[in-house]
Chain A
Amino acid sequence: MKRLVLAEFASPEPMVEAARKLRESGRQGLDAYSPYPVHGIDEALKLPRSKVPLMALVAGLTGAAGGYVLQWWTNAVDYLINVANRPAHAWPTNIPVTFESGVLLCALSLFFGTLFYFFRLPRPYHPVFESEEFRSASLDKFWVSAELKEGEDGQDLVRTLRDLGARRVTQVAEET
């Protein structure tokens, strides 16, 4: 069973500070929550470089290549349409569809890839939602969460967070 300590901050800066201090003290399973992206939190949590651009590049190139091959194979190999004896494979006429299919696959991967793979959503239940006050995380407050180790009672962590300026600290446990 996963247990989390949640701490609420009134503004983004102390939240970033708290996250940095906790990470520097060697605590694992940290996360921060905010209604909008907060400057500096990536670095405070030492998040690794995102692989989203790589995924988008691969998807875009695959889409473009697929689009081109589709046009070439359908119009020049499988089903020849002879219009005024023009060449069956004329690459300039393939540019628009190649571009569009590259963009299409790239956009699809950016949305669904990020959502399903990077965010691991849809996930209607998460232990943080056990706390009713956590509603403010998408509205106007800034939260830090830290995972508790097996057998740890968390009192020290609660005290540390209060010292770091948390206005409210609660503990939640995953529903089993």
Chain B
Amino acid sequence: MAISVAARLAARRALEPLPLLEGDQDDGTLNKTLLGYVWRRPGKGWLLLVGLGLTGTALLTVAVVITVAKGIGMWGNNIPVAWAFGIINFVWWIGIGHAGTLISAILLLFQQKWRTSINRFAEAMTLFAVLQAALFPVLHTGRPWFAIYWLFPYPSTNRIWPQFKSPLMWDVFAVSTYFITSLLFWYLGLIPDLAALRDSSSKRWMRRVYGIMSFGWRGSARHWHHYKIAYLLLAGLATPLVLSVHTIVSYDFAVSIVPGWHETIFPPYFVAGAVFSGFAMVMTLMVPARRFLRLKHVVTPRHLEAMCKIMLTTSLIVGYGYLMEHFISWYSGNAADFYQYANRRGILHGPFKSAAQDPYIPIFWLMVFCNVVVPSIFWTKWGRTNVYVMWFASILINVGMWCERFVIVVISLHRDYLPSSWTIYKPTWVDLSLLFGTICFFSTLFLLFLKFLPAVAVQEVKELRHELDTEHERHELPEFSQEAIHPMELEVGEEDEQEEKLR
């Protein structure tokens, strides 16, 4: 025999998934580690970060006040680049907000056990990201107080109704439905954990606050009976919803006739990009959070690796989208389309050579680098298991996805059909403050969530632990599975036993 038994054993073990929960956990230890930090005094680092976040939020407030008081002339938008930072940031944030529902709903329906430790976290991220997203179109209307009757069909004294044939109206319905459904889904999952916080509190006022927030949940079997079904149905609803939201966002572009926007590939390409950036944001937040909240036993390398694989897959879809756009621009034989993409790449020939000086060319190549080249690192096991690598990659992916929206919105518009109106767009300090301010506001909300609510769905992790234990006891798991057994358990004696079996 050329290969030793030990080597074969090691190879088989390497192919088995890593554990979902590390260490010898029971309900007591899970309560202590997953609920305990809510009762701890906030650390200096947390206070410092919240302080920074609030400072940035103050800047956001200033930018919002200036925009509303003086009008959107304070932004860098012009004609033909009438859509710029407002829409870029809207699409970027709403894309980030797609991972939450994907993780909680689609992975729930596919019975992916690894979703359990990260779903609460990702859902909270979704909510906060959609909040930031909603700010931009509202401000972009210029007079947000009129936006109510432009956008919502309520019987106003003007006796006019919104135009439902416009993709922008579809967007209003899609985004508001998405926000409400995500909020309800998140809160429904949170109720049992809020009850657990109520019951593990030591002070009366804390017990009151969490008691009110949990609506008096008592974990009755008669409630769980309906709860399980309601949760599953909400997941089933959220699945087509999450796909519909970014599809409809892509209609904002695809339904128009601007070269670079009018494309049938947009819906799937936008959805994949949204999932891509959403997972990247979950990764950016999760890597530090699991360290500082001491969640490494529930958010294991298994979870991180799975997220890296999803990022790699969606990066390939996005890369395919880029390739196809450029191919079709040549294949269609449409001069405006051809020029649009040649101008993005900066690789021009013939009569278009003069446009090779376009200042936005580096943004296109930065996008390609961040979204296609960087995620290739996840082909290697090293990239998928090294937290520093995946953390930096996830940040670059988010930069890349922002650049993608810049490329789609600004580069397409600044080279419209009419060459006489071609111009260059530059963001003003108000634009930049809005972008930076929303990042800070998002971080502040997220830090508050991490402090006051359980960041991991405790109830679901307990259920998973019990399930894995039962399966392990009944020998329903594959022989080499590490799902429930902790590597520590695989002591020498057991290895001998397994070697025997292999022979």
Contact A74 B234 (CB under 8 A): no
Question: What separation, in Å, do the CA atoms of A96 and B176 have in the docked complex?
Answer: 13
Smallest beta-carbon distance A176→chain B, Å: 19
A32-90 residues with Cβ-Cβ distance < 8 A to B are 32-38, 41-42, 45, 47, 50, 52-53, 56, 60, 67, 70-71, 74-75, 78-79, 81, 83, 86, 90
Question: What separation, in Å, do the CA atoms of A12 and B215 have in the docked complex?
Answer: 24
Surface stretch bound by B, among A100-108, A150-158, A159-167: A100-108
**How does the 8 Å CB contact mask read for B149-168 relative to A, with 1 for contact and 0 for none?**
00001000001111111010
Which residues of A have CB within 8 Å of B181? Answer: 103-104, 107
Contact B180 A108 (CB under 8 A): yes
Contact B466 A100 (CB under 8 A): no
Which residues of B have CB within 8 Å of A12? Answer: 466
Contact A135 B184 (CB under 8 A): no
Which residues of A have CB within 8 Å of B496? Answer: none
Q: Does A172 contact B (CB under 8 A)?
A: no
Question: What separation, in Å, do the CA atoms of A103 and B503 have in the docked complex?
Answer: 56
Which residues of A have CB within 8 Å of B459? Answer: 35-36
A104's nearest neighbour on chain B, judged by CB, is B177
Number of interface residues of A (CB under 8 A): 62
Contact A96 B216 (CB under 8 A): no
Tell me whether chain A's interface is mostly helix, strand or loop, or mixed: helix
Question: What separation, in Å, do the CA atoms of A86 and B166 have in the docked complex?
Answer: 13
Q: What are 29 A-B pairs with beta-carbon distances under 8 A?
A: A32-B220, A33-B218, A35-B27, A36-B192, A50-B226, A52-B233, A53-B229, A53-B233, A70-B153, A74-B153, A100-B173, A101-B173, A107-B181, A107-B238, A111-B187, A111-B188, A114-B188, A115-B215, A118-B226, A118-B230, A119-B217, A122-B215, A124-B211, A137-B199, A138-B196, A138-B199, A139-B31, A140-B27, A140-B28
Beyond A33-B218, A53-B229, 9 additional contacts (C-beta under 8 Å) are A32-B220, A35-B27, A35-B459, A50-B229, A52-B230, A100-B244, A103-B237, A104-B177, A122-B212
Interface residues of A (CB under 8 A from B): 12, 19, 31-38, 41-42, 45, 47, 50, 52-53, 56, 60, 67, 70-71, 74-75, 78-79, 81, 83, 86, 90, 93-94, 96-97, 99-101, 103-104, 106-108, 110-111, 114-115, 118-119, 121-126, 128-129, 135-140
Going nearest first, the 6 A-B pairs with the smallest beta carbon separation are A140-B27, A74-B161, A36-B463, A135-B199, A96-B170, A122-B215
